Amino acid sequence: MENNTFEYVVPCHFGMEAVLKREIMALGYEIVNVADGRVTFRGDEKAIARANIFLRTAERVLLCVGRFKARTFDELFEATKAIPWGDYIPVNGKFWVKKASTAKSQLFSSSDIQSIVKKAIVERLKMTYRVDWFKEDGDEYPLRVFILKDEVTLALDTTGESLHKRGYRKLTGKAPVSETLAAALIMLTPWNKDRILVDPFCGSGTFPIEAAMIGANIAPGMNREFTAEAWKHLLPMKGWYDAVTEANDLICNDVEMRIQGYDIDGEVIKVAMANAREAGVDHLIHFQQRPVSELRHPKKYGFVITNPPYGERLEEKEALPALYTDIGNAFRHLDSWSYYVLTSYEDAERYIGRKADKNRKIYNGMIKTYFYQFMGPKPPKRVDNRRFN
């Protein structure tokens, strides 16, 4: 705290830790630890704003205020009370333990952990502010507690509403992929802004919109608010303005991309177009009502990244063999392309008619899905004629 260096814990989708780690390092921060579903890094107070505004694949940004071993509730209480909470929470701050999660530890009752941590903070703040009762009518300071193998991490939630709430998706289609997961899946592939990208089941447009934002270098958190904006004693408002200015300066306004979103449902296409307008990328995406059976493209070496129907309802399940056969047929027409398909449908490869080169297990919400990766050939390297002139 003295040298204004903090530790931040950043949760993400399981399996996406390497993508998030890359993003954090690109912002110039030092990685402390990578664990299942979270990355810990070290940064200054400006990282509160920069991480929230720039990270595409993070769920939230947590400011770590304490880490210690605790096997009993007494140890939990005393170690929590020993933290200088007055450095973080003002006398009128509204604070509560929003979530407590525990694994492989002696302490396992989330509700007890929540109430003991709250009690310990109250006792410490009573000593700090010399008062017996707190109004808690000021700014919000939500806390999260993680206990893994008896090691407790206490962290303040700087984000508020999850980072997947970019602000552009006013409406969604069925079984949507979250914005953070869509961005992570795109960043797992070799796609870049110079390559064609098509989503034949675009729904409310999340894959095409996230790809357009990546290609145009539009920071995902520019148009929303964060809980920590009110924590001026930790990061003055200038820190937030500076981060937004930095984000604005990095946008590539003149970028040209070939991103297409198709869906069989015309109403859903209207939703996707409205969402793309809201995100400021509607000029970069071509949306069209079209079934997957009509998926064609004259150019080579493109990418399909898509989340087709899973058949969660029984009557939809019956239509899946025919649908995935259509997907396979469409892919065969685009024989130099690469395809990335997120689905929970167990027989996807069978009806697509090809075994995936790779697949990854990923949870989309509570649904276990697989990210099937069918790799196409690499495009030939272009010769740079300028060297010979």
Average pLDDT (10-22) is: 95
Supply the pTM of this predicted model: 0.93
Strands 285-289 and 303-306: unpaired
pLDDT, residue 194, reads: 95
Residue 336 shares a structural domain with residue 192:
yes
Instruction: Check residue 3 and give its pLDDT.
Output: 55
Domain housing 140? 6-157
Evaluate whether residue 264 is within a structural domain. Answer: yes
What's the number of CA atoms in the CB half-sphere (13 Å) around residue 142?
16
Domain shared by 188 and 125, yes or no: no
Give bridge partners of residue 358 from the DSSP assignment.
373
Quick one: pLDDT band at residue 303, thresholds 50, 70, 90? very high
CATH number at 92 reads 3.30.2130.30
Q: Are residues 213 and 281 located together in one domain of the fold?
A: yes
Alpha-carbon dihedral angle through residues 304, 24, 358, 306, given to the nearest 10 degrees: -20
pLDDT per position as a tens digit, 304-358: 999 999 876 666 788 999 999 999 999 999 999 999 999 999 999 999 999 999 9
Given a cut of 80, whether residue 266 has pLDDT beyond it is yes
* Confidence band for 271, pLDDT divided at 50, 70 and 90: very high
Proportion of the chain above pLDDT 90, given as a percent: 87
pLDDT in tens, 32-67: 999 989 999 999 999 999 999 999 999 999 999 999
Query: Does 379 map to a domain?
Result: no
Question: Is position 205 within any domain?
Answer: yes
**Residue 61 CA from chain centroid, whole number:** 11
Q: How far apart are CA 160 and CA 141, in angstroms?
A: 9
For residues 15 and 56, state if they share a domain.
yes
Tally of domains in the chain:
2
- Specify the pLDDT at position 109: 95
The overall average pLDDT reported for the chain is 94
pLDDT at residue 380 in the model: 87
| pLDDT band for position 25 (cuts 50, 70, 90) | very high
Q: Is the pLDDT of residue 2 over 70?
A: no
- In angstroms, rounded to a whole number, what is the distance separating the alpha carbons of residues 107 and 152? 10
Whether 186 is covered by a domain: the verdict is yes
CATH number, domain of 342, equals: 3.40.50.150
